[in-house]
A = this chain, B = another copy of it.
């Protein structure tokens, strides 16, 4: 089994640039995170883009869709900014039915001490191995199906639109 990780940027991978005091993108932290996790899964990482998800256009989403469709691997993780993660999940979810795709990201950059990124990557890797085909978001320790999730603008957390839990 091989898992493909498609990197698109987002808070997850932001770094502090000393000279300007700005948060910027350099290289993805995913390889370093997997090493720290002593992860033994066979993983292929591909950086598609390094952008804020607010800057993501239809062009970018089509490019992601293309890469998912053409991927030999049927287990795919996409690292993504949280602001438009739901939109990309919906776009992919309505068009891909034969793979397990999990989008994840972070509320705080991994390079910060207090990031949720390492936890979220662990969570996404577990869900992508265990969930049936479909497109999901893995955030806040939970998974959400692409057609029943929104980001709460006030709390910054992801939540279901309709509560399907009978418990």
Contacts and interface: CB of A to CB of B under 8 A. Distances in A.
A108 interface: yes
A118 to B, nearest CB: 5
A123 B120 contact: no
Contacts of A125: 123, 126, 141
Contacts of A123: 122-123, 125-126
B122 A130 contact: no
Interface string A66-83: 000000000000000000
Contact of A113 (B112, B120, B121, B142): B112
Contacts of A153: 19
A92 to B, nearest CB: 19
A16 B120 contact: no
A108 B126 CA distance: 20
Contact of A157 (B40, B116, B120): B40
Contacts of A34: 141
A41 B144 CA distance: 12
Which of A1, A115, A122 counts the most chain B CB atoms within 10 A?
Answer: A122
